[in-house]
Structure 1
């Protein structure tokens, strides 16, 4: 069993197509098919069901795939550790971030990291805090930036608090609320645009309204801050954004809240960070006061 064979299996599993898998691996299809067939003979089991229309994993293939990925990740890690011992950082760095991260200028941090470590392959995923915690636990993301309610802590990962901040209400420029500051009770009759119920980005607002003894309606649930802002611009309701993030939308009216919801941003990572992830954590630590 060879690492290249494992790469071919993973590629076919992820593309569901031998031709596309061969293109991804930069090899002719006949060579890829031959190597997978040789691996299947060695294992004594077929890994894929092949028809004229589709390719899918057999039960044996489903069982084999996670172990194949683990082997490839371990090999990549071994190469990265050897390179790091010689003073060179290489490998991959998978970063995750909530869309409204504000404690760190993430584009600048990624730019600086790439300049320092050009042989690291960087990827970025935008998702909610709960999903990012799961991805870090499972190894799909190396480091991630979260936003959680003040009393919440990420579980099962290493973490560092980056700072907290208040949320503000944002409304369309022609909204009837012609105030610069108010409280949550004064907003209770307004329709709200917020993240889906249960999401960390929603919880901080829900907890603040509950603490104020106020009920509100959220007829519009969104999955991204940009979509929230688009709906706010159309006058469909009131949005809630971090105060440090809201200035990115100068066309919206910002209303500060005397009893504002708050959130805390966290940086999280796996219990055994790779050399590439360790270098990123060090860069973030050195860039903050």
Structure 2
């Protein structure tokens, strides 16, 4: 299948409708022979994406919902990798992220380094571009994780830019790449830890300030309540004095308010024996 799919794929874009139809049918039939049960439900979407690049993201979204359990062999990689490589070139960063997640999950279960070796040159450079160029840190992080898993799956089989394969330059290049990926992931983790620490300290400070403000407001409320109660008491006392003065038989001069004498006549309503 790794040899057959690259030969059939160009025919789906032939100018003749009959050739396109036959090539698409052949591609779908060939891909359905894939023995990986995890990928089989997404095969129609993947084949559609191969023939219609505009459908790439839909296929990747289906693959994102796939739980990889079975070993990923060379035929499975031959079906998925071209679509994933194209998804890594999408303009939208979210589409790149989806492809990175699929590659990350898929690479954990690669059957052998030789199975994935032909697809290293297809995926590794694009993952590096995402890891280095995408603006959003979360997406760069996903690209680094995918690159880390993929380079581990490739082992010593990845052919470097100079064409050296296996133990020499290829191995050294992969070791350097793994070290770079690990260092970058460590840097991101340290930055996130520092940011989290800073955010935690800020939240703690805000909580303390809110507590102090609440305490001050409660103290002010109690003071206002005490002032209101004191004012109410004074008001009540003043009203009592006024009422007592109104009810008193003697005015301020000591004379009766009814008869006008200091000692009331017998005919005065306030006369007391």
Same fold (TM over 0.5): no
Query: Which one has the bigger helix percentage?
Result: 2
Q: Which has the higher contact order (CA 8 A, sep 6+)?
A: 1
Query: Which one has the bigger strand percentage?
Result: 1
TM-score (norm 2): 0.22
TM-score (norm 1): 0.22
